[in-house]
Structure 1
Amino acid sequence: MTGTAPPSLRELAASGRPFALIARDDATVEVLMGDVVDVELLGDIPLADASGTPREVLALVPFRQVRERGFECHDDAAPLRCLVVAEHTRMPRTEALAQLPAEQIPLTGAGFDIPDDDYADVVRRVIADEIGRGEGANFVIRRDFTAGVASDPVFAALAWFRALLEHERGAYWTFAIVTPGHVAVGASPEAHVSAKGGFVTMNPISGTFRHPAGGATAEALSEFLTSTKETEELFMVVDEELKMMSAVCSDGGRITGPHLKEMSRLTHTEYVLRGRSRLDPREILRDTMFAPTVTGSPMQNACTVITRHERTPRGYYSGVAALFTPRADTDPGAADGPSHDLDAPILIRTAYLVDGRLRVPVGATLVRHSDPHGEVSETHGKAAGVLGAIGAVPRDRAAELAALRAEGAIDEDAPAPEPRRLADDPAIAELLRSRNARLAPFWLNPQDAAGHGPFEGRDAIVVDAEDRFTTMLAHQLRHLGLDVRIVHWSEVADEELDEAGLVVSGPGPGDPRDPSNPRMKRMREVVARRRASGRPLLAVCLSHQVLADSLGIELAPLDRPHQGLQRTVDVFGEPASIGFYNTFTARVRPGATAVGDAEVSADPESGDVHALRGPGFASVQGHLESILSRDGMRTLERLVEHALTPVGA
């Protein structure tokens, strides 16, 4: 129920009842009270009572829930904790601040669990052993800032919540969630997923600009925005979240941005993705576990890499706080749709207090360009946003005063400060806009209805080799008119391969030369069986390499991985701007244009093969479905048309 008279916050703290405080705007603090229920699966979140009446639930979803998708993790048995809301009230932020304690909570034995040099070594290993061997494009590896806390945990939660309200800015949610034996207080900058009125929104944030002492300037930010590493890092996570959007949205999702997310110590770059869906919000949450900005890509392999390189379980770090709110929609057509709206920020920039120990987990996104010591500094910067607010590390008072003057909160006679919103600077706005010139119009523009393209009436199977780029690829194929199903490599039957009008053998991580890998073995069987039948085949990235190998073309590791790299290459006489995510390549003698019955499109100097085509088959090394593929749809249509053209026609 929603009330109008919130209790005194100190009375609430003394009551012993589970509660949550949430600030989602600059004016209001929401107060949620209720009972706690721990459940095993997302589908068990109790969105209705015994009579079927919808009810509001705030769920803390731990990282271990990725087991629901069959992914690896260190399983710490952290509960999927549900606060079943009995009362939901609101109070002005000013009133909440007046009631909340202002005391600083003493900490003891504070520091990172992994020393800086050791964390830098982990970064080096991940770049060399994981990204360098084709296991993925980027990975997020965390470390924890820990300390002892002797204060009452509820009092500490209220004090830290007040400190974040006062000293952190730009957060999506600022919150304190107090349940038996567990406290979580944070200022998350990032909405992972929301669902409202039939629309799903995701908000990938990546690229981290650490403010210099005294605050950020337009000049310093401009240098950051021109960084190749930071730009590619954002594009890669947008690609990864579009994979999720294409799985849960009928229209695949459209991107808008980029924007700036300006906070007290950091500024991030972000996009917003939006699409239509009528799925149950618990299904949406399951299919989007979890954000690539805090795990990596491709998602399944990222979880495996995290398990290899992180020493301890994540708990709730990189999970979500998911608020399910019954819909007040009176549209008669809404009866067969979702019963609840969803608002789910990522659990980052969050302090956890359990059994007298404070833990603030932070991670850095590691890509092929990463500098180990730079990633160490990034973890310090991310931790400082929370720790500075709660007084665990010194605050940047000069930056805080500049922000207050810019807001008009103080009117001292002082030199004019830098504008509070750097995004308003014309040069910064132009740098942000210019990024989209590199991207695929298909994902930037409104999309026409699928099913009426040049291949209407034809069917296709996309074989998923554990990279959900297949969801984006399937969405594009539907826009070319094909009726498409995605089938996992371990589940696709030989009969399906024989009967499909078109088989699209998909991308995936790993070394295509590994004979002991069951996934590689099956993908070789998929390509070989389809080629032997003479029926239409399109092979993408990993499967392109498998196809090349079957033609006797050498496979070799690249000197430097192409993870999130945009290149303009020749594809059978036509230049195409394409995004590449590969560590291995098929390679022919420079200048070669054919191998057996296959026509070869390759780099004239290195011999690296960009595409192949022959009787009933075509392949491409790049990801035509990526946002980095400006010419993706045009090239995909050409290759599908070739594969579907009868031999001899």
Structure 2
Amino acid sequence: GNGEGANFVIRRDVLARTAADPATAALTWLRTLLTDERGAYWTFAVHTPGHTLVGATPERHVSVRDGRVRMNPISGTFRHPLDVRDLEPDFRSFVKDTKETEELFMVVDEEMKMMAQICSDGGRITGPYLKQMAHLTHTEYLLDGSSEADVRDVLRATMFAPTVTGSPMENACTVIRRHEPAGRGYYSGVLALVDLDEEGGERLDAPILIRTAHVDAAGTVTVSAGATLVRHSDPRSEVAETAAKARGMLAALGLRPRRETGYDVQLASVPGVAEDLAARNESLSPFWLSPQEARPDPDLAGRRVLVVDAEDTWTQMLAHMVRHVGMVAEVRRWEQVGPQDVLDPSWDLLLLGPGPGDPTDLGDPRIVRLRALAEARLGSGTPLLAVCLSHQVLAAMAGLEIVKLDRPNQGVQIPVDLWGQVRRIGFYNTFVARPPAPGEQVSVGGRPLEVAVHEPDDAVVGMRGSGVASIQGHAESVLSRDGLVALHGLLRHAALPAPADPR
């Protein structure tokens, strides 16, 4: 990889034609879905002049009710076997499968970025749960938070779902445009039901448009489906998954046989499954699994932090954690921040955030800007913290070699030694900085640096010096079990004056 992202969803289309009246056809197909499908979040038909949509989508995109925002990331797909005797052992293997587990964790991370942006309390994760349908079963989490935002702003901030695009979102859309032959139309968009509750408050219910057929004015029927491509993906398995996702809709259209399951087993009740699902959370961040009541650090409380977004909204989760310890955080896009902005003395700390791409590519305006911001801050002797891509940029400025990993770390938890403390941190990176030669002193902007090295990967996973610190991993990730304590330590090191030497 080239550091472009952690996962991508590339769609395939099945095309057909119908001469039937679209409204009549829609009601016929809807009846079949209501009869044959199970477990759908919405089963629906929408008919307007020139466009007809019929589907049975399993996934809520976002809902708002009584000031509570909920998102429902679904990822990981189990195809029900034809022979019931294979069901339980195959399903137990699926629940324990590393690829399926990591695939879900990655989309939870991506949707938590959105929750952190729109919810004052950052959002809390519950689950995992099962979404059992007629011929497929998915794994899912529920994300819940409070927000006073207008429902239109909530919908705008959460477009589009990473479960049907990839992450990071902005770069995933670029990859989709490069690999898909035409625009997606309604596929992976949303329907949105907006109304008022009994007290006049706004409500929103918006499912994702997947497992859906679209009929245009010419009678062309399109059914689109895709699978999530991650580092453990097997091409044949992903193709089979894509076909399985389309099969239920195609059967409703009469383009595939209507398959009888022949059994009715509640997979959530299969012995051992509940325990296996619960065990997934043992490695996750307790911060995001719990109510996030602020716990200000008296030494940091009130200090102002400028967070620079380098085209990845991990910065929203970072900002929420920074506020949790009592600091005041403001997030700005990289192109909205210049060297003079970071020299404003009202900023107690500059936090340069993560992003996709090659940290050595000086033809990339983002990399050039990140270097300029770091140079300005270092030159002024004021505090700086860098994360992931920005850590790599800082390491390059310190003269360390930046190399591409043979196998990217995309959505993997690694226990790393950060200056004598082992922390379990989530990693999403294609590039790493190599450590200096033994005895070689490293410095940046005239500040000597102490590096933390993960020996198995021969990778610099952290740097720190007077008023400067950096980390390769994502302390803000759901995958970072020790993320809050690691980030808190880096904030204190970067933002607070070094204690006086007792000698």
- TM-score, normalising length from structure 2? 0.95
Q: Where does residue 166 of structure 2 map in the other structure?
A: 296
Pick one of 279, 285, 307 that aligns with 1:462. 307
Q: Where does residue 243 of structure 2 map in the other structure?
A: 380
Q: Could you tell me how far apart the structure 2 residues matched to 1:522 and 1:188 are?
A: 42
1:506-517 aligned within 5 A: 506-517=353-364
Q: Could you tell me how far apart the structure 2 residues matched to 1:642 and 1:326 are?
A: 49
Q: Where does residue 446 of structure 1 map in the other structure?
A: 291
Q: Could you tell me how far apart the structure 2 residues matched to 1:192 and 1:347 are?
A: 9
Are the structure 2 counterparts of residues 194 and 610 from structure 1 closer, same or farther at C-alpha, using a change threshold of 3 Å? same
Asked whether the equivalents of residues 450 and 465 of structure 2 are also in contact (C-alpha less than 8 Å), the reply is yes
Pick one of 402, 408, 411 that aligns with 2:263. 402
Given the alignment of the two structures, is residue 618 of structure 1 paired with residue 463 of structure 2, yes or no?
A: no
Asked whether the equivalents of residues 137 and 297 of structure 1 are also in contact (C-alpha less than 8 Å), the reply is yes
Asked whether the equivalents of residues 415 and 424 of structure 2 are also in contact (C-alpha less than 8 Å), the reply is yes
Which runs of no fewer than 5 residues in structure 2 stay unpaired?
A: none
Identity among equivalent positions (%) equals 56
Which runs of no fewer than 5 residues in structure 1 stay unpaired?
A: 1-131, 331-338, 404-418
Q: Deviations over 1:459-481 (max 9, x none)?
A: 10100000000000000000011
Are the structure 2 counterparts of residues 451 and 342 from structure 1 closer, same or farther at C-alpha, using a change threshold of 3 Å? farther
Given the alignment of the two structures, is residue 584 of structure 1 paired with residue 436 of structure 2, yes or no?
A: no
Are the structure 2 counterparts of residues 359 and 641 from structure 1 closer, same or farther at C-alpha, using a change threshold of 3 Å? same
Asked whether the equivalents of residues 4 and 357 of structure 2 are also in contact (C-alpha less than 8 Å), the reply is yes
Pick one of 452, 474, 479 that aligns with 2:319. 474
Q: Where does residue 485 of structure 1 map in the other structure?
A: 330
Are the structure 2 counterparts of residues 524 and 344 from structure 1 closer, same or farther at C-alpha, using a change threshold of 3 Å? same
Given the alignment of the two structures, is residue 425 of structure 1 paired with residue 263 of structure 2, yes or no?
A: no
Q: Could you tell me how far apart the structure 1 residues matched to 2:44 and 2:137 are?
A: 20
CA positional deviation for 1:192: 0.4
Pick one of 462, 480, 498 that aligns with 1:629. 480
Asked whether the equivalents of residues 129 and 140 of structure 2 are also in contact (C-alpha less than 8 Å), the reply is yes
Task: State the AA in 2 paired with 1:635.
Answer: A
CA positional deviation for 1:452: 6.2
Are the structure 2 counterparts of residues 168 and 556 from structure 1 closer, same or farther at C-alpha, using a change threshold of 3 Å? same
Give the 3-state SS of the residue equivalent to 1:320 in structure 2: coil
Q: Where does residue 211 of structure 2 map in the other structure?
A: 349
**Cα RMSD (Å):** 1.5
Give the 3-state SS of the residue equivalent to 2:20 in structure 1: coil
CA positional deviation for 1:594: 5.0
Q: Where does residue 97 of structure 2 map in the other structure?
A: 227
Q: Where does residue 313 of structure 1 map in the other structure?
A: 183
Pick one of 367, 382, 386 that aligns with 1:520. 367
Asked whether the equivalents of residues 592 and 607 of structure 1 are also in contact (C-alpha less than 8 Å), the reply is no
Pick one of 521, 541, 557 that aligns with 2:404. 557
* Count of aligned positions: 492
Asked whether the equivalents of residues 593 and 600 of structure 1 are also in contact (C-alpha less than 8 Å), the reply is no
Are the structure 2 counterparts of residues 441 and 594 from structure 1 closer, same or farther at C-alpha, using a change threshold of 3 Å? farther
Are the structure 2 counterparts of residues 636 and 453 from structure 1 closer, same or farther at C-alpha, using a change threshold of 3 Å? farther
Q: Where does residue 265 of structure 1 map in the other structure?
A: 135
Asked whether the equivalents of residues 266 and 385 of structure 1 are also in contact (C-alpha less than 8 Å), the reply is no
Given the alignment of the two structures, is residue 242 of structure 1 paired with residue 112 of structure 2, yes or no?
A: yes
Q: Deviations over 1:481-525 (max 9, x none)?
A: 100000110001333311210000000000111111111110111
Q: Deviations over 1:208-230 (max 9, x none)?
A: 11111145722111111111111
Q: Deviations over 1:296-348 (max 9, x none)?
A: 00001111111111001100100000000112226xxxxxxxx4200000000
Pick one of 473, 480, 491 that aligns with 1:640. 491
Are the structure 2 counterparts of residues 402 and 454 from structure 1 closer, same or farther at C-alpha, using a change threshold of 3 Å? farther
Q: Deviations over 1:364-423 (max 9, x none)?
A: 1111111111111111010012112343212322x1x423xxxxxxxxxxxxxxx3x211
CA positional deviation for 1:425: 2.2
Asked whether the equivalents of residues 591 and 607 of structure 1 are also in contact (C-alpha less than 8 Å), the reply is no
Q: Could you tell me how far apart the structure 1 residues matched to 2:421 and 2:208 are?
A: 43
Q: Could you tell me how far apart the structure 2 residues matched to 1:528 and 1:555 are?
A: 18
Given the alignment of the two structures, is residue 389 of structure 1 paired with residue 276 of structure 2, yes or no?
A: no
Are the structure 2 counterparts of residues 200 and 527 from structure 1 closer, same or farther at C-alpha, using a change threshold of 3 Å? same
Are the structure 2 counterparts of residues 549 and 217 from structure 1 closer, same or farther at C-alpha, using a change threshold of 3 Å? same
